[in-house]
Amino acid sequence: MKFQDFKGGVHPSQKKNTMECATVKMGIPEKIVIPMVQHIGAPCQALVKKGDSVKVGQVLGNSDAFVSVPVHSSVSGVVSSVDERIISGSKPVVCVEIKPDGLQEISEDVKPPVVDSKEAFMKAIRASGLTGLGGAGFPTHVKLNPPKDTKIDTLIINGAECEPYITSDYRECMENTSNIIEGINHVLKWTGIPRALIGIEDNKPEAIKKLAEAVDSMNSISVHSLKSRYPQGAEKMLIKTLTGREVPSGKLPSEVGCLVMNVASVSFVAEYLKTGMPLIKKRVTVDGSSVKTPKNVEVLIGTPIGEVFNFSGGFISEPAKLIMGGPMMGVALYSDEIPVMKYTNALLALDEKDGKIPQEYACIRCGRCVDVCPMNLLPFDIDRLVKANLHDELEKYSVLDCIECGACAYTCPSKRLLTQSIRLGKDVLRRRAKK
Ligand code: SF4
Ligand code: SF4
């Protein structure tokens, strides 16, 4: 297959320190906190109250909305509170806190689903609580149900994992190869998509080899080695590289006949159809200059991140910054009480040197941010308009196309906080559109 290339991109130091760290299971924490929103879409209503006993895999919250997924208990124990908390951003979210009893009694509702039709498959995927495990948090059953008039001919499996530090998908490829292929086959069968392309960056040769061997005799699935360049794993870049198709501004991959799923997501599909155990655990890369023993950890969803850092040996230096996700696109956390969520793929603790916010200097109009922007935007101009509150002019700059990859800020010699500024611009435009 002849690959296309996407414009721009950068080469941050990879820091994949945990590539050879096989996943280790963390035990049951002292408490579990399950937010009723861990996905893009409508929040769930809590179905339990303080004092209720719950079991592993029991539904704790659900919603009637199509764009939503249920949330489940990752432990057995007693609900100690149902209240609103700030998790990320500024909006409070209803959270169910559970005191585990250590028994890990499994709910009677946990049994493999009967899947004998496309409808039953979609219903099962929703019931599993699956959202994109690569970090996006988009409900998978919604993704698998594109508008009726769209024809999907390619399932793209994202194994690029281009952010520095993160190796959780790499470990999925190494440790659960057969589940990945089984999950892809389920998706192809029940959606009717004829082919799947697995894309992995060429800095993971062992994973490429393992998956290529596993699909050797299969005509419908192929494995492709991609050049290591950030943000190769962004949906639009992956589609462009693997198929040559360009997703138009403001549109979804289905517009160009593609559906993108993460390696961990398809692997979970296979596991769920076999066991019926919903999404209650997550593999997380724990790393960063302040972490004593970086590792890949299998964590129960709802575990406070402070406990995950403790499980990784604690800190060797006072962290200046805690991040959920990678250093390019992750979210800075204000507290180590925040729980691991469905979309958490990494937890980083960075020391003073790596984590401090740099001093911004004036833009020198060097144009480097324009050169590296994979979405053909003009980051320095957008930054200028946002800072000057020139919102009418901002409308002309396709700001909503920004995928917030941070490549512009990474390359800027003046250390302009371009991503934050563009994010602000996107918020302003969205609020204006709502009005
Ligand atoms: S403007 Fe947006 S898409 Fe372009 S490099 Fe910056 S963060 Fe990435
Ligand atoms: S890279 Fe930085 S200094 Fe150069 S044009 Fe962009 S914002 Fe200005």
Quick check: CB of 375 below 6 Å from ligand 1?
Answer: yes
- Asked if residue 136 has pLDDT above 90, the reply is no
- For 118-275, CATH gives 3.40.50.11540
What are the strands of the beta sheet with 24-25, ordered from one edge?
A: 24-25, 295-300, 281-287, 346-350, 321-324, 331-333
What does the pLDDT read at residue 39? 83
Distance 417 CA to ligand 1 centre (A): 11
Distance 59 CA to ligand 2 centre (A): 49
Give the pLDDT band of residue 148 (cuts 50, 70, 90).
confident
Nearest to 11 by CA among 157, 178, 227: 227
Minimum-distance ligand to the CA of 411?
A: 2
What does the pLDDT read at residue 1? 55
Ligand 2 atom index nearest CA of 418: 7
| Peptide bond connecting 194 to the previous residue in cis, omega within 30 degrees of 0 | no
Minimum-distance ligand to the CA of 408?
A: 1
Question: Per-domain residue ranges for the chain?
Answer: 24-99+278-354, 118-275, 368-434
Distance 413 CA to ligand 2 centre (A): 7
Environment class of 334 (CB within 10 Å of its CB; exposed 0-12, middle 13-18, buried 19+): exposed
How much of the chain is helix, strand and coil, in % rounded to 5?
A: 30, 20, 50
What does the pLDDT read at residue 3? 61
Buried b or exposed e, range 337-370, using 16+ CB within 10 angstroms: ebbbbbbbbbbbbbbeebbeeeeeeebeeeebbb
Angle at 22 between CA 18 and CA 23, to 5 degrees: 100
Tell me the mean pLDDT in the region 60-87.
95
Quick check: CB of 9 below 6 Å from ligand 1?
Answer: no
Residue of 10, 363, 421 with the most ligand 2 atoms within 8 Å of its CB, for mutation: 363
For the domain made up of 24-99+278-354, the CATH class stated in words is alpha beta
- Asked if residue 400 has pLDDT above 80, the reply is yes
Provide the 8-state DSSP code for 355.
H
Nearest to 321 by CA among 355, 297, 367: 355
195-201 vs 221-226, strand pairing mode: parallel
Distance 132 CA to ligand 2 centre (A): 33
Distance 55 CA to ligand 1 centre (A): 44
Minimum-distance ligand to the CA of 6?
A: 1
**One fold for both 24-99+278-354 and 118-275?**
no
* pTM attached to this predicted model: 0.94
Q: How far is CA 200 from CA 127, 220, 259, in A?
A: 29, 17, 16
On the CB side of 234, CA atoms within 13 Å amount to 25
What does the pLDDT read at residue 88? 73
Nearest CA to ligand 1 atom 4: 373
334-357 pLDDT, tens digit per residue, is 899 999 999 999 999 999 999 988
Higher-scoring residue by pLDDT: 250, 48: 48
284-327 pLDDT, tens digit per residue, is 999 999 999 999 999 999 999 999 999 999 999 999 999 999 99
Distance 314 CA to ligand 2 centre (A): 38
Residue of 6, 384, 408 with the most ligand 1 atoms within 8 Å of its CB, for mutation: 408
